[in-house]
Structures are given as structure tokens and as C-alpha cells.
A and B are shown apart, each in its own frame.
Chain A
Amino acid sequence: MSPSAPRLALFLLAVPLAPALATAWLHPRRPDWQALVSGSAPANAHELSLADVRARAPDALWIDARPAANFAAGSVPGALSLHQDDWETGFTALVDAWDGARPLVVYCGSADCRASAEVAERLRRDLGDARVYVLRGGWEAWKAAQGGGVSR
């Protein structure tokens, strides 16, 4: 490899650093660095079991973060569909239905999915001081608690 290749490689790796730093510092949707550095980023801090939801947020408004097809096939009664890829539609419906005081509980397919955590994080950001929780175990946990299947 020619002597200039390492310099070109370093150049290509270094060029993105300046805009990346600007993004990290100024972007309105930048990560929460303070929480990340301190280790207090809420990974599961807002996750509740179904029993906890019933005890602590019995009047919760349920948010279904699964794809629309899964929502149509069956969901928690009264839940609103809010998927990341059709955020505007779902968010408008949520704002129309939500009184601003009820806690929000978001769920996705199972314990392995992350859509509910992502939607919850985005809701906290967009709705300010809303109480937003994630249902541990998601739709599978709900179905199991209902004895195999609840749909509407």
C-alpha cells in the first residue's frame, strides 16, 4: 500500500468527527449524555409488570407499539396504535384521546422487542412530564394473564 494510504485513511476517519461533535452537542434529538455518562439512563426504570400496572396505573391509557397488522389482529382493549414508522398519525390520535393526566403504558410483542421502550422514550420527550411506562413482557405477558388470548 502506498505511503499516502494511511494518511488518506486517517483523513476519512477524522473528517466526520467535527460534524459528529456538533451533532452530539447541538442536535435537538441528541442522546442524553449526562444520563449516559452517569449511568442513570433509564433502561428499565419505567418498566412495569402487568400486576404493577394494575396496582399503580389502573386508569392507564394503553399504547400498542407493534406494527399496525399485529394491532389489528388483537390488542389490549382500548389501546391506541402508535408505531415508530407512522408516528404522526398515531401521535395525533393519542393527543386527541389523552387527557394529559392518565399514565401511559406502552407495550410491544414480547420481552425481546424494543419498540415499546423506543416509543416510551419518544413520548417522554414529546409529552414532557407525562408518566410513561413500558409493560414488561409486552403483548405475550398480557395474553398469558388473560389465559391465552384477548383481542377485540
Chain B
Amino acid sequence: MTQGRVLSLSRRLALAVVAGLLAWAGAAKLGDPSRFAADIANYRLVPPLLAAMAAVYLPWLEIALATGLLVPRLRAVARLFALGLLLVFCAALASAWARGLDIRCGCFGGADGGASAAQALARNAVLATLLFWGGARSVRLSSRGLTQINSRDAKG
């Protein structure tokens, strides 16, 4: 197996790991939208109504992005959105941490045992790294346009 093939497989594996975690995070939150809404509201960054709307939308968005990471035609866009989502989560967590709020992360519903902000930030940093790594070829070839990259992914 060539080095290029190994790199390509490892990048796909990285994206698959992120997709799995995103899907798990979304599915875990779907069990109790009210609780997730409370988790979001606890960050005290958005009003309760907006928190509740996010609580019913975000889990499905995470599942859609997880699926998109596995579909060649959607992979590049899903990766960008997933990175953006992680960035937003990190900003919210850092803000809560900086304000000394003693709150649940809410990242995986109740399935992560109520990870602290620091733990969740570290986990998000790992996921962002995997997303960067998984899309490294797309970034390098970005001057050729997403369509070309997607068609290469579809063939590969």
C-alpha cells in the first residue's frame, strides 16, 4: 500500500470518527429536548426561546452534518459547517468557563456524564484537529474548486 493511499485512508477514517461522534451527540440530545434547551439556556448567551429553538434544531443538524461527512458530494461543505459548529461550541464553553459558570456541557445530552467546560473544550479541539486532518487534501487543492474536489472524492 502506498504512502498516499495510507494518508487518504487515515483522512477518511478521521472524518468517519468525527461523523460518528456528531451522530452520537445529536442522537443523545434528541431524547430530551427540554433538558438540552435548559443546558443551552444555562450558558446565558441567548434568550430561553432561542435556546429552545436551537435545542430542537441542533441535534438534527449534527446528524445531517455527520451524514454529510460520509457523502462525497457533501463532504467539503459538511466539514466547513462542522468546523463552524465546533467553533461556536468552543466559544460558548470558553465564555462559560471565563464567567465561572458551574454548568453541564450539554454536548452529549446526559451521555457524557456532564463533562466540564475544560473537558469539552479539549474534546472539541481534538475533533477540530481530526476535521482539519480529514480535509487536508481539500484545503491543498482548494484553488481547483469544490466541484473538482468532490468529483475526486466521488471517484476515490
Residues of A within 8 A of B (CB): 1-2, 4-5, 8-9, 11-13, 15-17, 19-21, 23-24, 27, 29-33, 36-37, 41, 43, 67, 84-85, 109-110, 112-115, 117-118, 121-122, 125
Residue of B nearest to A41 (CB): B48
Q: A46: shortest Cβ distance to chain B, in Å?
A: 14
**A36-B48 in contact (CB<8A):** yes
User: Sorted from nearest, which 3 A-B pairs have the closest CB atoms?
Assistant: A16-B60, A31-B52, A2-B147
**B102-A113 in contact (CB<8A):** yes
**A9-B81 in contact (CB<8A):** yes
Q: 0/1 per residue, B122-134, Cβ < 8 Å to A? A: 0000000000000
Residues of B within 8 A of A (CB): 30-35, 37-38, 42, 48-49, 52-53, 55-57, 59-61, 63-65, 68, 73-74, 76-78, 80-81, 100-104, 110, 113-114, 145-148, 150
Contacts of B145 in A (CB 8 A): 1-2
**B77-A112 in contact (CB<8A):** no
Q: A113: shortest Cβ distance to chain B, in Å?
A: 5
Contacts of A112 in B (CB 8 A): 100-102
A-B contact pairs, 12 of them (CB 8 A): A9-B81, A16-B57, A17-B60, A20-B56, A23-B33, A23-B56, A31-B37, A84-B35, A113-B103, A114-B103, A114-B104, A117-B38
**B102-A29 in contact (CB<8A):** no
The SS class assigned to the B binding surface is helix
**A121-B33 in contact (CB<8A):** no
**B48-A12 in contact (CB<8A):** no
Residue of A nearest to B112 (CB): A85
Q: B28: shortest Cβ distance to chain A, in Å?
A: 12
